[in-house]
Amino acid sequence: MAQNQRTQVLLHPDFRVGEIDRRLFGSFVEHLGRAVYTGIYEPGHTTADEHGFRSDVAELTHELGVSMVRYPGGNFVSNYTWEDGVGPRADRKPFIDLAWRTIEPNEVGTDEFLQWAEREGIEPMMAVNLGTRGVAAAVALVEYCNGEAGSKWADMRIANGREEPYAVRLWCLGNEMDGPWQIGHKDAHEYGKLAAEAGKAMKLVDPSIELVACGSSSMQMDTFGEWEQTVLSYTYDIVDHISMHAYYEEVGGDRASFLASGTAMDRFIRRVVASVDAVGARKRSDKEITISFDEWNVWYLETRFVGEKKLPLQRDAPRIIEDVYSGLDAVVVGDLLVTLLNHADRVPVACLAQLVNVIAPIMTEPGGGSWRQPTFYPFATTARLAQGTTLDLRVTAPTTTTAKHGAVPVVTAAATWDGAALSADGSSGTGAGALALFLVNRSSEPVDVEIAHPGLAIALTGGLEVVADHQTAVEGPEHAAKVAAACIRELGTPQVVQDGPGRTVLTLAPESWTAFEGTATRA
């Protein structure tokens, strides 16, 4: 392990990965368990607004810094008839959601969600059902959401009380269609043809929309790689993004592999980019398809989840996959964010799955309080501090060998700077701006990081440190508060050694994620 070995980071203001799209800090609300009902929505709750949405959850969502929310699924969307969830509530009928074996009351649907997102200043990301449905239903939904008065579905929206189009920009063409668990699962040719036709027609309704084709549900799928290439062979000219989904967990006490999840995510992104670009090259296309990493998180899928097929048929917002997180999970979430920032050039969209109660940073009790899980803190801090451009760091770090991922670096890092905007002649930045450094130490020893920053004067003023713990997950706000007290520390002015011009040395705690906040000015 790394003990006392110095890690070196070269940070230069002219080396840049790319501008950070604010949609990188998206999240996800699916009709699953208590994400909607008793999550964002609970009429009668003491904090509920006039529309029945919990304002305590909305406040935490703002504090989390979520820019965008994906809806309505997830696996749920693949057997969803969106028309059943609009119009007068008294006329809406419950149905059996086959994805999570739950009676969906259809009390919250497209209008309620989109109006909530609008009131909260959050960009919506919608998904269409390409499992049990197809082109016509997808086209109708785009028209319902974005159409001007004077056509059937837009007029239905107006009759339902919403005059202005919602102008939903981002649309998923189905969800995880490569997965055999998906209702209406398809092979890559079937899905590619359907997605191309649906996407073509949806853009004829509203040419300004952006489309996401389904990529693989994970890198472990047997069809991974082949799936992306086949799907894009049909959809390359129509879609704008391809999706990635990945969940990480500690299995069998293999802490080192779990702590290296950021490297696994990095490799996954590089492989998808390679597959996507290979299709572009074959097509001799100048178009660049980017990535919508629209589901990512820590999820104890293998170790705690019983599997959707074993779920009894339930009603009234059952507790499904309400994972309880530790400081260790928070360190990993921070590291995954480091990876996403470092791919800002190819990953403009990402969604922490999910927002509330279901594998979520925010938890609620029906009729009771709401609280932050440990994973809330690295997300909120990154969303707040990561402004402007990701700088292209050169990190020289010792490696450690993990059972699952082989050799991985012991330290990972990302830096963002909002003084990096190019001047009109394209030669230099504005010269000064907010700087954030995100550093992860995966080893069980403290590590010194020596940062060389020629041409930049850096002043660090504070930040946040998250350290891993060894706690067993226990449910409830008291547990979350205990973990936060033990693992999460606001930094004052950090213990920085500025040993020479353009050189800063920082010490990272064992198994930690740290965000340093400050300013950087061209020297």
Task: Tell me which residues touch ligand AHR (CB under 6 A).
Answer: 30, 73-75, 175-176, 295, 353-354
Using CA atoms, how far apart are residues 369 and 350, in angstroms rounded to an integer? 28
Nearest residue (CB) to ligand AHR, 294 versus 517: 294
Shorter beta-carbon distance to ligand AHR: residue 33 or 192: 33
Residue 470, token pair as written in the block: 């060894």
In the bound state with ligand AHR, the residue whose beta carbon lies nearer, of 71 and 144, is 71
| Distance in Å, CB of 115 to ligand AHR, minimum | 23
Residue 210 or 295: which CB sits closer to ligand AHR?
295
DSSP for 184-223, written as a single string: T---HHHHHHHHHHHHHHHHHH-TT-EEEE---S-TTSTT
Measured from the CB atom, the residue of 303 and 498 that comes closer to ligand AHR is: 303
Contact between residue 1 and residue 399 where contact means Cβ atoms under 8 Å apart: no
Q: Compare residues 244 and 420 and give the one whose CB is closer to ligand AHR.
A: 244
Q: Tell me, yes or no, if 123 is annotated catalytic.
A: no
Q: Tell me how far, at minimum, the Cβ of 359 lies from ligand AHR, in Å.
A: 6
How far is the C-alpha of 244 from the C-alpha of 350, rounded, in Å?
Answer: 9
How far is CA 448 from each of CA 247, 393, 458, rounded to the nearest angstrom?
30, 17, 18
- Closest approach, Cβ 111 to ligand AHR, in A, equals 22
Residue nearest to ligand AHR (CB): 74
**Nearest Cα to 495, choosing from 503, 504, 487?**
504
Q: How far is the CB of 53 from ligand AHR (least distance, A)?
A: 21
Those residues whose C-beta lies under 8 Å from the C-beta of residue 461, and which sit 6 or more positions away, are 493, 517, 518, 519
At residue 297, φ and ψ (nearest 5 deg) are 175, 180
CA terminus-to-terminus distance, the chain: 36
Supply the minimum distance, in Å, between the C-beta of residue 309 and ligand AHR: 13
CB of 41 or CB of 299, closer to ligand AHR: 299
- DSSP label at 446? -
Phi, psi of 243 (to 5 degrees): -85, 155
Q: How far is the CB of 179 from ligand AHR (least distance, A)?
A: 7
Query: Which listed residue (42, 197, 295, 517) is catalytic?
Result: 295
> What is the Cα 12 distance to its own chain's centre?
28
Confirm if 247 and 298 have CB atoms less than 8 A apart: yes
- Least distance from ligand AHR to the Cβ atom of residue 357, Å: 12
Catalytic one among 143, 176, 197, 511? Answer: 176
Q: Is 295 a catalytic site residue?
A: yes
- CA–CA distance, 341 with 453 (Å, rounded to integer): 19
Question: Which pairing describes strands 290-298 and 349-352: parallel, antiparallel, or unpaired?
Answer: parallel
Strand 432-441 vs strand 411-417: parallel, antiparallel, or unpaired? antiparallel
Question: What's the DSSP call for residue 121?
Answer: T
Tokens 């999550």 correspond to what residue?
A: 39
Catalytic site residues?
Answer: 176, 295
